[in-house]
Amino acid sequence: MIIAIMGINVGKDYGSWKKVGGSFDEFPVQERLVTERKEKYRFSFSDAELVQINTRDIYIVYGDILFKQHQVYFRPTYDVPEMIKLRFTLAGKGTIFNQVNKQKYIFSSNQQNIIYMPELDGTGEYDTAHNYRFFEVHFAKEKFLQLSENSCKALQVLAEHTDAGRYAQIAEQNLPISWAMHSCIQDILNCNYTDRLKLMFLESKCIELLVLQAEAFETAVTKKQHVALQSTYDRDCLYYARDYLIEHIHEPPSVAELAKLCGINEFKLKQGFKGLFDNSIFGYLSDYRLNCAKVLLLEGTPIKSVAFEMGYSSVQHFSNAFRNKFAISPGKVKS
């Protein structure tokens, strides 16, 4: 089968059925419970490194892509199982416009969503100056519907749309990737089990990610109901302020500058931000930087490089901030 990943089509067998010629073989072919491969691709429009993990009901893919051109065309793919995508943008940003449902999807660094997109035919736009890193878990449609039954309202609503074949996201606005989600992703990528234990571990971690996302979106809805925003415009301004902070993590604006940039007064910005994101503006930015720093440390990046990349004035300043948040020193974080 062919799975389209960021405009790149890669071959893939799905479950216990193997594609033979132009149709499925009449009989199931016995395959390993979990298949995994790491490959590098070179295309005219991008260079990519992909890690792909496949089980009967779940497809996992981690990608690190450098785009060589700003715009990429996504051609339709056929004979692909219907799947629900848990989407995590780890670094970089991009947009996809799907001509099929006339919907624009925005992917920004450290943001996540759950998407059902049965067909894609459109264009993507990406930053050619920075690598784009993403992690996805694709649940087979029937598996997702089974997991969503008798769960929280957010998942049940998404399941209703999915079951009816309607394009849907769990929410219009993406949410930040929490540290618990980052940790779960690292557990999946660093899994050393084999055979049935590996299958059990991966399935449990993918379900854990689904639970963490569902909880995050349920909490966000509850917070919105208690935040006294005067209009949809005010709420959009606050999301813009959050996204702008993340994109300018190395040179964040002052509160006054941010208020002007997002088109809202300082009082509404500070009060609304606290109510919507349960943190002050710069408290949110500090937490985001430290969570990113911990991920980099887990990936094996040297402490000095992490401190510099996250914009700290010194390693000591970074170490103190890190210890205050996580109760351990950066040097004790193990990859």
Check residue 3 and give its pLDDT: 43
Check residue 31 and give its pLDDT: 62
Is-contact 302 333, C-beta < 8 A? Answer: no
Number of independent structural domains in the chain: 2
The arithmetic mean of pLDDT across residues 167-186, rounded, is 90
Check residue 296 and give its pLDDT: 85
Query: 175 pairs with which residues across the strands?
Result: 112
46 and 110 together in one domain: yes
Any idea of the CA torsion for 169, 173, 176, 180, to the nearest 10 degrees?
A: -30
Check residue 52 and give its pLDDT: 95
282 and 165 together in one domain: no
Task: Give 248-287 pLDDT, tens digit per residue.
Answer: 888 889 999 999 998 889 888 888 888 788 889 988 888 8
d(CA 142, CA 131): 34
Sequence letter at residue 124: G
Q: Report pTM.
A: 0.68
75 and 194 together in one domain: yes
d(CA 192, CA 201): 10
Is-contact 122 97, C-beta < 8 A? Answer: yes
Where does a domain end: 225, 244, 263?
Answer: 225
Check residue 227 and give its pLDDT: 52
220 and 234 together in one domain: no
184 and 234 together in one domain: no
The arithmetic mean of pLDDT across residues 122-148, rounded, is 93
CB atoms inside a 10 Å sphere around CB 308: 15
Task: Give 2-19 pLDDT, tens digit per residue.
Answer: 344 444 444 444 333 333
Where does a domain end: 225, 254, 286?
Answer: 225
169 and 298 together in one domain: no
CATH code at position 148: 2.60.120.10
Structural domain range at position 276: 226-332
* % of the chain with per-residue pLDDT over 90: 41
Nearest 5°: phi and psi at 71?
-115, 140
Task: Give 58-98 pLDDT, tens digit per residue.
Answer: 999 999 999 999 999 888 776 667 899 999 999 888 999 99
Between 48 and 327, the higher pLDDT residue:
48
Task: Give 278-304 pLDDT, tens digit per residue.
Answer: 889 988 888 888 888 888 888 888 898
Three-state SS at 244: helix
d(CA 121, CA 7): 10
Is-contact 83 68, C-beta < 8 A? Answer: no
Is-contact 220 213, C-beta < 8 A? Answer: no
